[in-house]
Amino acid sequence: MSHPMDATGNTPKVHRNGPEPKHDTLVIEDMNQFVQILVAWHSEKVKVLEHMMEVPDGIVMETNGIDATLTGDLLFGFKAGIELALMELGTLPFAYETEPPEAANDSTQAE
């Protein structure tokens, strides 16, 4: 069985080394900012999961120091898990409109 190789001749790996990095806490000033941050976060998560659906047969995934070559049933299970995550994340369950920043500032200045 052959494994995919990158330009250097190495088998590429998917890495997962422990928990996600901690992010600074954001101070939300208004609902418009909150919606923009939430939509951007959701979009980025969906893009990452969709990218993971395209991993080739034979890619090596490293998690907590253990390598696993994703082929056959293991690859199928990996992609099934990603598909479930995409179904769960789905589309945002609300409609939204954001105000341009100028409109929000104009209304406070008019008072």
Answer whether residue 36 is part of any domain.
Answer: yes
Domain interval for residue 87 = 29-110
Asked whether residue 46 carries a pLDDT value surpassing 60, the answer given is yes
Q: How many CB atoms lie within 10 A of CB 37?
A: 12
Cα torsion at 98, 99, 104, 107 (round to 10°)?
-130
> Phi and psi for 70 in degrees, rounded to 5?
-85, 100
Confidence band of 111 (pLDDT split at 50, 70, 90): very low
Q: What is the pLDDT of residues 13-22, one digit of tens each?
A: 555 555 555 6
Q: Contact 37/44 with Cβ under 8 angstroms? A: no
Is the pTM here over 0.85, yes or no? no
Our count of domains for the chain comes to 1
Answer whether residue 1 is part of any domain.
Answer: no
The DSSP letter of residue 2 is -
